[in-house]
Amino acid sequence: MTDYRAPLEEIRFALETAGGLSEWTSIPAFEEAGEDLVSAILEEAGKLAGEVIAPTNVVGDQVGAKLTDKGVVSPDAFKPMHQAYVEGGWSTLSAKEELGGQGLPSTLSTAVDEMVTSANMAYSLLPMLTSGAIEAIDAHGTDEQRHMYLPKMITGEWSGAMNLTEPSAGSDVGALRAKAEKQADGTYLISGQKIFITWGDHDLAENVIHLVLARLPDAPAGTKGISMFLVPKVHVNADGSLGEQNDVKCVSIEHKLGIHASPTCVMSFGDSGKCVGYIVGEENRGMANMFTMMNHARISVGLEGVAIAERAYQHAASYALERVQSAAIGAKTRESVTIINHPDVRRMLLTMRATAEAARAIIYRNVWALDRAHALDDTEARAAAQGEADLLTPISKAYSTDIGVEAASLGIQVYGGMGFVEETGVAQYYRDARIAPIYEGTNGIQALDLVGRKLNADGGAHWRALIAEMRGFAAGEGGDYAADLTPAVDALDDAANTLFENGFERIVDTAAAATPYLRLFGTVLGAYMLSRQATEAERRLAAGEGNPAFLKAKVSTAAFYREQILPSAVALLPSIKAGARHITDLAEDDFLRH
Amino acid sequence: MTDYRAPLEEIRFALETAGGLSEWTSIPAFEEAGEDLVSAILEEAGKLAGEVIAPTNVVGDQVGAKLTDKGVVSPDAFKPMHQAYVEGGWSTLSAKEELGGQGLPSTLSTAVDEMVTSANMAYSLLPMLTSGAIEAIDAHGTDEQRHMYLPKMITGEWSGAMNLTEPSAGSDVGALRAKAEKQADGTYLISGQKIFITWGDHDLAENVIHLVLARLPDAPAGTKGISMFLVPKVHVNADGSLGEQNDVKCVSIEHKLGIHASPTCVMSFGDSGKCVGYIVGEENRGMANMFTMMNHARISVGLEGVAIAERAYQHAASYALERVQSAAIGAKTRESVTIINHPDVRRMLLTMRATAEAARAIIYRNVWALDRAHALDDTEARAAAQGEADLLTPISKAYSTDIGVEAASLGIQVYGGMGFVEETGVAQYYRDARIAPIYEGTNGIQALDLVGRKLNADGGAHWRALIAEMRGFAAGEGGDYAADLTPAVDALDDAANTLFENGFERIVDTAAAATPYLRLFGTVLGAYMLSRQATEAERRLAAGEGNPAFLKAKVSTAAFYREQILPSAVALLPSIKAGARHITDLAEDDFLRH
């Protein structure tokens, strides 16, 4: 009952309606991503996630990662699981073929990643961080670096870790103090401590390739003085074999609320003055390098929200179908029924399901835009796709992780008292989910990104295009839903224009409105994406295609979302337009109690 | 920085504006509750909570309650703390004078309980459950029982525990199976297992007085066949001294998400066939007896939401005043500032603060109505007060515990990555808070109670009276806030009338709308209560009375609530009126994934 089952029907449908699946083979880079291959990959990934990875989730939580004399040790159950993941080639799906990857769309690997993340979120961070490091090295490393490190990282034999944060440099990366000094041989001596380094050390891979942000002695202040270095845990010889240990080690790991199996390390570089690193890209360009992979990393964290909401939903739905308690409302007998018969339980389950499906559609669309931005031939089409991907990224990250926490909380509520007891496993989702709104840029930072950079990019072209698309849908094929969608899009349009026109003079008002604006945007977009799915489901139903039960459920879930979830978000408009006045008027000291 | 400081200024103001403080001495039963005594009690309670109890919160979480051969053992730090609580007479405040209590208003003891709960929620359940047992025995026990058990329970030397739940009888108490058989001497032999028994066993008191719901052999099915029994852990001799152990024991305790120091016991009664109990009240009247104390117990759980929101708020606010990160939005320099300068951080803090203050005002009002229902002379006034107390109870319970979880989650978000690390202590609030929406009737049950029993009580007189009161305020002294309040009250009125008119024919629609209706009710009532506080704050400011900084903050917090929190709740109206159609149309099997 508590096992995770990959929602293949839903994932497939989301790929078709939001992830551009039918267009994949029309793009030369993805011509191999045809029907048969895609189906086989999704099917096998579902098995891996459900049968191999999902059973490790609870033991990962209970045993956790441990720091020993020999470094960080993972739970025993993780070793065969990771081996199966590596040997199955799961980490190679969307990597470049020249480096040993399969060159498939990231949208497809995102669907696979979702299943892996639902199955074991703590574990999923290992391949996720490795992907990020691969992307950065691929984009900015030398050919020698690329060929020395990437093939083994792509197979998963080696992992990657991102070393940004320091105690005084969290959201403000520019405040970091780690040092790099150039040596005569062109390498750099790295020194400093980094905190919150996910999978910074572990025993699942032979080597950990650290990307470390540090400052050169003469670097300018702030983000313009940051450089990126590649620091292998174990040095790699010219022939590819492993050499000596580098002077880098994990000195402690955090005791956290959740994702216990994901070691969150304090990493120390150069304690003995012998930590050798190699610059990636140019000096003082480290921050720009990070931006290259920021979209992907942020979307991946957003995906955690979807993945945890999905698993929490499944777990709660199974329980609601089994647990017998109280008579049905309005029933003539006092016979007890399964709690799925109680409308309020259904409301909770449908909220979890509808928000997860909305966020999934947003994320798949976002990654598909990224895929197009990389793979299309036409420059203008690429730029439009990149603009859309950039716009959607903070929404993918923040909206999805917020609903992830909310869904996990509802999952406990469906379970009642048993949900508060750790042995049922639903409390773990609530604990695990809570990190996703925080890392990879807090959701507050995402909201500021949305109302700042993204609102103003290309004169507002990208949000205007999206709003126009939604209006076109409501005026056309989505006409049945126009009564719900049109006022929602109007509100979003009004909010976007208000903040856009605020400009620099009212920047504090804009910043104060950022979070409700993101919530409004995400919810309206979710309603639109689900409504598009509903029109497609209705078309298939009318044409006698597909599974009618699934398609009817899509129509129904979209209707639930528009009716029960959308209005409260639309009502954020006056709060957004009100500006900062009631947010800034309390004096600092008045926040303290007496 | 992490210590709790009783918000005495705010609590005092809430007692004055929502808890009827100025009227206390005008009621004969409370004539001693004058200015000096009340001030002294609040002041001393603040010291106890902040200095003695609050420091035990983290150790309680880390060490937790443990089951040993000798029963359940509490953390060492709890013993002197509990002793201080008992010796200070803190549990006697609102208990009857004839039984050793002080006869003060429950509204006053609620304010004290809030501080104790903020200081250590897990511990606070011990006096809270004891209070519930006292109330039941006092209302339904014989004089002999009252004099044998209550004095020592009131002082806190003995504790009380409520034994209702069984594996198949949670929300549906009527399904319970524990047995009671009458003996020749008039006592009963009790047998059966109970689960989720809070503080069912422990080493802080000499005796635990269990109230156990069980069935007689010939009892009717359902709730009409339940009787209540008093089952002491240790038998009490006629002279009041302790005698033999009774045949009752804790056989295991749950490993829970939070409130680790509160033992959640599986209790076994009559394993050796020798568990002797004494009936409380009449046979088959156990459920009705439970209802006597249900208001108090539910309000007390609601208070946990306020208490945890308050502590999470204080903890997050202290951090925001210290943590330096990033330049201020729109500032000319790039100098980093404390994060309280960032509007989005303020938004989070103000949301926590405003919802906590709204819920506090609702709860104090609710308890004050209960006090009046018990202590007023006039029958009609008593009935009106009881009707108001009954109406407000599900709102106090569910609205407050929902915002408690939301506030605890925001508290982590303010802390960022450090919030996810257990050592900062803010994750504990998130874990502890999560039980409150579940126990003492899930929030779904509360919502059903609100749209069922409470909506229909006395033909709807009580909610109509409250709506009329809010309209009167908006048309009179609260005229400045009418633009916000009137549409909100209109929406509540519309929703209440719609559900009222649904009647039995549309009972499923009503049940489906219960949760958003409760949220709408709670939020509109919260906006009204805060607005009333704001008018009083403005009056005092104009008159030069009180602390201007505090009073201005009250005005500002109320404005924030009306502007930033109220509109989304008001927008629940269409969802409420939509009924069940999109909640009931999904087939049961379609909740499962394929």
CB B446 within 8 A of CB B397: yes
B residues 407-436 lying closer than 8 A (beta carbon) to A = 409, 412-413, 416-417, 419-423, 427, 430-431, 434-435
Q: Is A205 domain-assigned?
A: no
Is A244 or B292 the better-scoring residue by pLDDT? A244
Q: Is A576 domain-assigned?
A: yes
Q: DSSP letter for A422, please.
A: G
Q: Is A10 a catalytic residue?
A: no
Q: With beta carbons under 8 A apart, name residues in chain B contacting A353.
A: 591
The structure tokens 């209540």 sit at B228
Q: Chain B contact for A569, CB < 8 A?
A: yes
Q: Chain B contact for A321, CB < 8 A?
A: yes
Q: Is B392 domain-assigned?
A: no
pLDDT digits (tens, 9 = 90+) for B26-82: 999 999 999 999 999 999 999 999 999 999 999 999 999 999 999 999 999 999 999
Rg (CA), chain B: 24
Q: Is B271 domain-assigned?
A: no
Q: Is B541 domain-assigned?
A: yes
Name the residue among B427, B575, B591 with its Cβ closest to that of A340.
Answer: B591
Q: Chain B contact for A291, CB < 8 A?
A: no
User: Which residue in chain B has the smallest CA separation from A197?
Assistant: B417
Indicate the average pLDDT of chain A. Answer: 97
Check CB contact under 8 Å for B413 and A586. no
- For residue B1, the model assigns a pLDDT of 42
Check CB contact under 8 Å for B572 and A568. yes
Nearest CA to B354 out of B309, B321, B391, B324 is that of B309
Q: Is A340 domain-assigned?
A: no
Q: With beta carbons under 8 A apart, name residues in chain B contacting A560.
A: 582-583
Question: Number of A:B CB contacts under 8 A?
Answer: 302
Indicate the average pLDDT of chain B. Answer: 97
Residue range(s) defining the domain that contains residue B569: 442-587
B residues 134-193 lying closer than 8 A (beta carbon) to A = 165, 168, 170-172, 175
Number of domains in chain B: 1
Distance from C-alpha of A182 to C-alpha of B136, rounded to nearest angstrom: 77
Distance from C-alpha of A358 to C-alpha of A533, rounded to nearest angstrom: 10
- Those residues with Cβ within 8 angstroms of residue A449's Cβ, 6 or more apart along the chain or in another chain: A393, A394, A441
Average pLDDT over residues B475-483: 98
Q: Is A570 domain-assigned?
A: yes
- Residue B535, both tokens: 């008018």
CB A419 within 8 A of CB B398: no
pLDDT digits (tens, 9 = 90+) for B430-462: 999 999 999 999 999 999 999 999 999 999 999
Distance from C-alpha of B47 to C-alpha of B5, rounded to nearest angstrom: 8
- For residue B290, the model assigns a pLDDT of 86
Q: Distances from the Cα of A447 to the Cαs of A396, A501, B344, B464, B486, in angstroms?
A: 11, 17, 9, 41, 31
Name the residue among B172, B326, B584 with its Cβ closest to that of A343.
Answer: B584
Distance from C-alpha of B253 to C-alpha of A423, rounded to nearest angstrom: 12
DSSP string, B68-106: ETTEEE--TTHHHHHHHHHHTTGGGTTS-GGGT-----H
pLDDT digits (tens, 9 = 90+) for B107-143: 999 999 999 999 999 999 999 999 999 999 999 999 9
Return the exposure string of A43-56: e unless at least 16 CB atoms fall within 10 Å of the residue's CB, then b: eebbebbbebbbbb
Length of chain A: 594
Residue A67, pLDDT > 70, answer: yes
- Residue A465, both tokens: 């295009």
A residues 335-364 lying closer than 8 A (beta carbon) to B = 336, 338, 340, 342-350, 353
Residue B2, pLDDT > 60, answer: no
Q: With beta carbons under 8 A apart, name residues in chain A contacting B444.
A: 342, 344-345, 348, 413
Sign of CA dihedral A384, A386, A388, A391: negative
Distance from CA of A368 to the nearest CA of B (A): 24
Secondary structure of B306-330 in the HEC alphabet?
A: HHHHHHHHHHHHHHHHHCEEEECCC
3-state DSSP assignment of residue B153: helix
Sign of CA dihedral A372, A376, A381, A382: positive
Report how far apart the first and last C-alpha atoms of chain B are (Å, whole number): 50
Residue A220 CB neighbour total at 10 angstroms: 12
CB A311 within 8 A of CB A323: no
- Residue A295, both tokens: 């979209």
Distance from CA of B53 to the nearest CA of A (A): 18
Name the residue among A5, A10, A340 with its Cβ closest to that of B588.
Answer: A340
- Residue B129, both tokens: 């459950």
Average pLDDT over residues A506-516: 98
Q: Chain A contact for B480, CB < 8 A?
A: no
- In degrees, rounded to 5, the angle at the alpha carbon of residue A133 between the alpha carbons of residues A130 and A135 is 110
Residue B483 CB neighbour total at 10 angstroms: 10
Catalytic entry in B135, B304, B357, B440: B440
- For residue B337, the model assigns a pLDDT of 96
Q: Chain B contact for A330, CB < 8 A?
A: yes
For residue A265, the cross-strand partners are: A197, A253
CA A448 to chain centre: 18
Residue A2, pLDDT > 80, answer: no
Q: Is A255 domain-assigned?
A: no
CB B250 within 8 A of CB B264: no
Catalytic entry in A10, A135, A357, A440: A440
For residue B236, the cross-strand partners are: B242
Average pLDDT over residues A349-356: 98
CB B437 within 8 A of CB B398: yes
Average pLDDT over residues B523-527: 98
- For residue A123, the model assigns a pLDDT of 98
Distance from C-alpha of B382 to C-alpha of B387, rounded to nearest angstrom: 9
Sign of CA dihedral B487, B489, B492, B496: negative
Distance from C-alpha of A508 to C-alpha of B265, rounded to nearest angstrom: 52
CA B35 to chain centre: 26
Distance from C-alpha of B188 to C-alpha of B180, rounded to nearest angstrom: 6
What predicted TM-score, i.e. pTM, was given to this entire model? 0.97
Distance from CA of A8 to the nearest CA of B (A): 6
Sign of CA dihedral A133, A137, A138, A144: negative
Distance from CA of B366 to the nearest CA of A (A): 24
Element (H, E) at A149: helix A143-155
- Those residues with Cβ within 8 angstroms of residue A574's Cβ, 6 or more apart along the chain or in another chain: B563, B567
- For residue B56, the model assigns a pLDDT of 97
Confidence class of residue A293 from pLDDT cuts 50, 70 and 90? confident
Residues of chain A above pLDDT 70, percent: 100
pLDDT digits (tens, 9 = 90+) for A467-507: 999 999 999 999 999 999 999 999 999 999 999 999 999 99
Instruction: Name the H helices within A503-572.
Output: 507-543, 548-560, 566-570
Confidence class of residue A1 from pLDDT cuts 50, 70 and 90? very low
Q: Chain A contact for B488, CB < 8 A?
A: no
Nearest CA to A19 out of A298, A303, A439 is that of A303
The structure tokens 């009717």 sit at B220
Element (H, E) at A160: strand A158-163
Distance from C-alpha of B286 to C-alpha of B267, rounded to nearest angstrom: 19
The structure tokens 């109509």 sit at B464
Name the residue among B258, B342, B422 with its Cβ closest to that of A256.
Answer: B422
Residue B351, pLDDT > 90, answer: yes
A residues 34-73 lying closer than 8 A (beta carbon) to B = none
Nearest CA to B369 out of B106, B8, B26 is that of B106
pLDDT digits (tens, 9 = 90+) for B239-290: 999 999 999 999 999 999 999 999 999 999 999 999 999 999 999 999 999 8
Rg (CA), chain A: 24
Q: Chain B contact for A405, CB < 8 A?
A: yes
Q: With beta carbons under 8 A apart, name residues in chain B contacting A5.
A: 592-594
